[in-house]
Amino acid sequence: MSFIRAFGAYLPETIITNDQLASRLGCEAEWIFKASGIRERRQARAAGENETLVEMAVRAGRACLEHAGLTPDQIGMVIMSTGTAPRRFPGPAAETASQLGLPAGVATLDVPMASAGTLFAMALADQLAARYGNILVIGVEKMTEIAWREPADPNLAILFGDGAGACLISPNSGIAEIVDHTLQSDGSFTRDLRLEHDGTLCMEGRSVILQASRKIPAAIMLLLERHKWSAADVNVLLMHQANQNLMNRVAQAVGMAQDRVFSVIEKTGNTSSASMLIAAAEWAHQQTSLSGKRIAFAAFGAGFHWGALLARGV
């Protein structure tokens, strides 16, 4: 097994509050909070201009490298997840690696998966680190560009924000050892959560919530039972920040106290595949030591794809 060596994150400076969004969508700010647990989110802008997906990814990647104490020439691979890439090909991973200063020839891999992509990328990095060395995993999204496109659906537009998160997977040492992971998919729900080529975001909310509230707890429990951990043994659950109500429901289903689920959604909104690592970076920043702590990661997203990962602080 490999190690998580560091996390990093980047959030754009522009903050969009519920009051601002409510006036645009014709709804109430308090309704937004009750429906989602969100009070504000970030929008990718820089000095009044649009901030690119790659720029956000580079900022999160640099933060992660600084926390890991590594230089770009010590990275053997980059795996990057996004569901909002600006073009069909090439994906943004190679350009991100170049702007980070990685040497030419370092392999990069794009994982075009919304929400669950960074969990899949972490599991993949765990398997590849022994061959490629330090692997930088980045999740980045510009969801507001999609969700706020007119005519905006209030039920979707209230949820999303922009940002990037990163983690460094190392074969030999780190702050937490990866214990195990499970990855699962079910294509029979493909049409229930999708982003079309014309930029139309479609979501059957009831189906997504129902399936997520069943499948995420099942994936977590599968790993806990496999390693004889109880829910009470887990110090923190770092989830895809989809909706606060869903995260509370998952905690209840697993038998975990809600305060064990670390949440940043109130300040960030749903940043899709970036969200789990943004939360992880903030949680890790608040810790004086991870030694002995048992950590669970979980995510669910379009596909449907979902899974969980366990790690133990060292």
Tell me the mean pLDDT in the region 262-281. 98
Residues 39 and 105 in one domain: yes
Residues 129 and 102 in one domain: yes
Reported as a single tens digit per residue, the pLDDT across 121-138 is 999 999 999 999 999 999
Give 50's pLDDT tier (boundaries 50, 70, 90): confident
Least confident of 36-50, 130-144, 166-180: 36-50
Question: For position 98, which CATH number holds?
Answer: 3.40.47.10
Comparing CA positions, the residue from 106, 135, 137, 101 lying closest to residue 121 is 137
Residues 162 and 71 in one domain: yes
Residues 239 and 134 in one domain: no
Q: 303: exposed, middle or buried (C-beta count within 10 Å: 0-12, 13-18, 19+)?
A: buried
Residues 153 and 180 in one domain: no
Tell me the mean pLDDT in the region 255-268. 97
Reported as a single tens digit per residue, the pLDDT across 13-42 is 999 999 999 988 999 999 999 999 999 999
At 265 the pLDDT is 98
DSSP conformation class of 270: B
Domain that holds residue 200: 176-313
At 199 the pLDDT is 87
Which of 170, 188, 214 is the last residue before a domain boundary? 170
pTM: predicted TM-score of the whole model, two decimal places: 0.97
Q: Tokens in use for 173?
A: 């040492």
Residues 211 and 132 in one domain: no
Residues 256 and 187 in one domain: yes
Three-state SS at 24:
helix
Q: What are phi and psi of 212, to 5 degrees?
A: -65, -40
At 38 the pLDDT is 98
Give 7's pLDDT tier (boundaries 50, 70, 90): very high
Residues 224 and 302 in one domain: yes
Rounded to the nearest angstrom, the gap between the alpha carbon of residue 224 and the centroid of all alpha carbons in its chain is 21
Residues 258 and 209 in one domain: yes
Which of 143, 170, 197 is the last residue before a domain boundary? 170
Residues 13 and 161 in one domain: yes
| Spatial contact of 137 and 274, defined as CB atoms under 8 Å apart | no
Q: Tokens in use for 242?
A: 């989809």
Which of 109, 141, 170 is the last residue before a domain boundary? 170
Residues 46 and 153 in one domain: yes
Domain count, the chain: 2
At 91 the pLDDT is 96
Rounded to the nearest angstrom, the gap between the alpha carbon of residue 120 and the centroid of all alpha carbons in its chain is 10
Alpha helices in the chain (DSSP H): 18-25, 29-36, 53-68, 93-100, 117-132, 144-147, 154-157, 205-226, 244-254, 265-268, 275-286
Residues 91 and 209 in one domain: no
CB atoms within 10 A of CB 200: 11
| Spatial contact of 12 and 44, defined as CB atoms under 8 Å apart | yes
% of the chain beyond a pLDDT of 90 = 95
At 250 the pLDDT is 98
